[in-house]
Amino acid sequence: SLSVKELRARLQRAGVDYSGCIEKADLVKLLQETGEGTSPAAAEEESESPGEFSWPIIHSDVTNGILPPDIGLKFSTILDILRFGVKELSLFGTQGHISKKASKLINNAADMHLLRSNGCYGDLIKLNVSVFTFWDHDYKGDEGIYNYLLKTAELNPAAGLDAELLRSIRRWPQQRIHGTFFVLCERADGTVLLSEDLSKVYLVLGMAQSLAALLTATAPPGARPLPQRIRTSLLPFRSYLAYDGTLVGDPIPVPPSQRADMERRYRAAARAGTIVAALPPPADDDRE
């Protein structure tokens, strides 16, 4: 249970006068009456860091916050093929989506990482934009990126991209959630993100490493890596929610008051079972 010191600290943060409390039980009762803790158990729960508060586990088959290996491999393969298709369909010169410098670096679908190492991270982001801009049709009205993916999968059966899996991502342009998020903390079964207005809580998986681990590893020495504001796109894949492999971080520290608000909202969503860990198919899903 919480100590007397911790109970007093919580009441002080809530702006409640506890000078009339003599016994510890009086502090607990007063805390419950403020609505800051509906029970001693809830009060203790709030004392945990957000990373320690991981109940309930949503993905029991996930460890280290990343997609299961076989699923993660297929997800990353699909992303690489889609990006490579931008070059193959000669879309890199349209609307300034990707520079010729970046195009020269991409010799096959496995070369996407070269964009980062050669200082073309911005072009990698533009590649992702192009994928969804030209999903159904290219700039001339011909077949777009999605059809390129279908043909590539058919010619490379060893990739294991079966027809059902490819149909499941048919509506990615409509389903993807693109925007600004706050990365709050890491759980064993994913990284916790909040929407920019803090109204929604997401549980997002990475590929080679979790989103939280990536931000922590790249944080400046001595800086607190989380929470951090980022821009990225969330994509549904099987029964999971992943991100598209690109993100733009904001090193500006999150004020303590806002961080506390995020933590409260995360815990509330966990208790209510409203954490978004997967996305339903769109209403106009035309699977055949």
DSSP state of 109: G
Instruction: Look at residue 280 in the predicted model and tell me its pLDDT.
Output: 83
What average pLDDT does the structure give for the chain? 81
* Proportion of the chain above pLDDT 70, given as a percent: 77
pTM of model > 0.85: no
Check if the beta carbon of residue 279 is closer than 8 Å to that of residue 205.
no
Q: Where in the chain is the domain with CATH 2.40.50.140?
A: 174-272
Architecture in CATH for domain 174-272: Beta Barrel (2.40)
Assess whether the previous peptide bond of 56 is cis (omega < 30° from 0).
yes
Instruction: Look at residue 284 in the predicted model and tell me its pLDDT.
Output: 59
- The conformational region for residue 190 under phi > 0 = left, psi -120 to 50 = alpha, else beta, is left
Q: What are the tens digits of pLDDT across the range 61-117?
A: 998 999 999 999 999 999 988 988 887 776 655 444 555 666 665 665 556 666 666
Instruction: Look at residue 288 in the predicted model and tell me its pLDDT.
Output: 45
Q: What are the tens digits of pLDDT across the range 160-173?
A: 999 999 999 999 99
Please check the confidence at residue 265 and state whether its pLDDT lies above 80: yes
